[in-house]
Each structure stands twice: as structure tokens, then as C-alpha cells.
Structure 1
Amino acid sequence: MMRNPQQTIGNLIEKSTQAFIAYIDGEGYPITKAMLKPRDRKDIKEFWFTTNTSSNKVKFFRENPKASIYFVDKRFFRGVSLIGTVEVLEDQESKRQIWLEGDTMYYPLGVDDPDYCVLKFTAIKGRYYSNFHSEDFTIE
């Protein structure tokens, strides 16, 4: 049993170089996509990602906000799946909050690019895997 889920899982997330996000498509099937690691996070409850407004993810999150994100530590063969919901944010404050120099590589019109938006994931529960054992936990 994890003594401190916030710390254990937080450390795993910090060491991850990527994340995987899952959404439900229009036919009810789960789709998983690799993402750049979150630009910002609040503990293990809230995560902010950049993405293209024109992506299928955004289209389907607007229809159904249920989602999961997954982080893996390949070296020690452990991972965490977080379950929650996604909000698609297009306001200037949210976009500027996580904008980084060099993002024009993906969004050539800059922070005001209409094809740039923020996904805010809010977790409600999770499942941690390590040492051939899985453990469910809630997030408050």
C-alpha cells in the first residue's frame, strides 16, 4: 500500500516524458493518444495539456468529457492511470498560462492561434501499478 499517493504518483509523473490520454469516440469506443507531458499540474488532481483545437480529441471531449490519463515509468515497470473529466479551454488566460517559447512550431500564429487550446484534466480516482501489484485510490 502506498504511504503517500500524492508523493509517489507525483514523482512518477515528474519523471515521465510523455502521457497518454484516452477519450470516447462518437461510436462509444475508447481511443488512446500519446501526448507531451502536462505543461502544468496541481498535485495529482488537475493537469493542463496543449493540443490542437481541430483534433478529434477536442471534438469528442466536447461531446463527452470522460477521460483517463496514464503515466508510465518504463525503467521500473510501474504506472498510474487517472480517471476524470476534461474541459476544453480556449480563453486567453488559460492559453497564456501554459504557453512556452517554441510552441510556434505547433501553433504558428502564436498564443492567439485559433488551432491552439488547453485541455484541463481533473482526476477523481486512479489505479497505481508497481511490483506486480495494483492499487485503487480516490483523489480529493
Structure 2
Amino acid sequence: MIRNPEQTVGNIADKQKTAFIGSVDEQGFPNIKAMLQPRKREGIKTFYFTTNTSSMRVAQYGKNKQACVYFCDNRFFRGVLLRGTMEVLHDPASKEMIWREGDTEYYPEGVTDPDYCVLRFTASSGRYYSNYHSEEFTVE
């Protein structure tokens, strides 16, 4: 049994360089994409990612907010799936909150680049896998 989901999931999320995000396309099929690790997290409830406004994912989340995020620890063959919703944020405060030096490589116009936006994932439940066992949990 997962004793402390916040600590266990948080540790996995913080140590991975890659997160996998899921969206639903117009035909109802799941779409998975590898992303750089979240720029910020608030417990295991809220995660913030950077992305391009022009991306397919932004269009999909605009039509269907259902989403998931998966973190995989290859070294110990364990992982965690978080289910919830994804919002696309364009407000200056959110964009500035997770902006980092060097982001102009992806967004040449800087923090105000119209092709730069923030994805905010809010988890409601999850599933943790470790040692040949899976376990569901609720995110508070």
C-alpha cells in the first residue's frame, strides 16, 4: 500500500527529466506526448508545463480538458499515472511564473511570445505501480 502518495509521487515526478502527457483527440482516441519535466508543481495536485500555443495538444485541451500525466522511473521500474484536467493559460502572471533563462530558444520573442503558453494540470486521482503491484489513490 502506498503510505504517503504525496511524498512517493512527488519524489518520482521530481527525479524524471521527462513526463508523458495525455490528451483526447476529436475522434476520442488518447494521444500521448513526451514533455520536459514540469516547471513547477504544487504537491501532487497541480503541475505546470510550457508549450507552444500553436501545438496540437493546446487545440485538443481547448476542446476536451480530460488529461493524464505519467511519470516513469526506469531505474526501479515504477511509475505513476495521474488523471485530471488540463487548462491552457495565456495570462502574463502564469507565463512569467515558469519562464526560465534560455527559453528564448523555443520562444524567440521572450515571455510575451504569442506562441508561448502554460499548461496547468490538476490531478484528481492516480494509479501507482511498483514491485509488480498497482494501486489506485485519490489526490486531495
Matches for 1:9-48 after TM superposition, within 5 Å: 9-48=9-48
User: For residues 2 and 25 of structure 2, what CA distance do their matches in structure 1 show?
Assistant: 34
- Which residue in the other structure is 2:5 paired with? 5
Report the Cα distance in structure 1 between the residues aligned to 2:80 and 2:3, rounded to whole angstroms: 15
Q: What whole-Å deviation, never above 9, does each CA across 1:54-84 have from its counterpart, x for those lacking one?
A: 0000001000000000000000000000000
Report the Cα distance in structure 1 between the residues aligned to 2:28 and 2:8, rounded to whole angstroms. Answer: 33
Query: Structure 2: which 5+ residue stretches go unaligned?
Result: none
Deviation readout 1:88-127 (Å, 9 max, x if unpaired): 0000000000000000000000000000000000000000
In the alignment, which residue of structure 2 is the partner of 1:70? 70
Q: Deviations over 1:23-46 (max 9, x none)?
A: 001111100000000000000000
Written as runs of structure 1 = structure 2, the 5 A alignment for 1:59-98 is 59-98=59-98
| Structure 1 stretches of at least 4 aligned residues deviating more than 2 Å after TM superposition | none
Aligned to 1:110: 110
Q: CA deviation at 1:131?
A: 0.2
Per-residue deviation, 1:51: 0.2
Letter in 2 for 1:105: E
Paired-residue identity, %: 61
SS across alignment from 1:104:
helix
How far apart are residue 3 of structure 1 and its match?
A: 1.1
How far apart, in 1, do the equivalents of 2:116 and 2:80 lie?
27
TM-score of the superposition, structure 2-length normalised? Answer: 0.99
Residue in 2 that maps onto 1:101: 101
**Match for residue 54 of structure 1?**
54
For residues 16 and 118 of structure 1, the distance between their equivalents in structure 2, rounded to whole angstroms, comes to 19
Q: What secondary structure is seen at the aligned counterpart in 1 of 2:83?
A: strand
SS in 2 for 1:44: coil
Give distance in 2, aligned partners of 1:134 and 1:97: 35
Provide the TM-score with structure 1 as the length reference: 0.99
Q: Which amino acid aligns with 1:125?
A: S
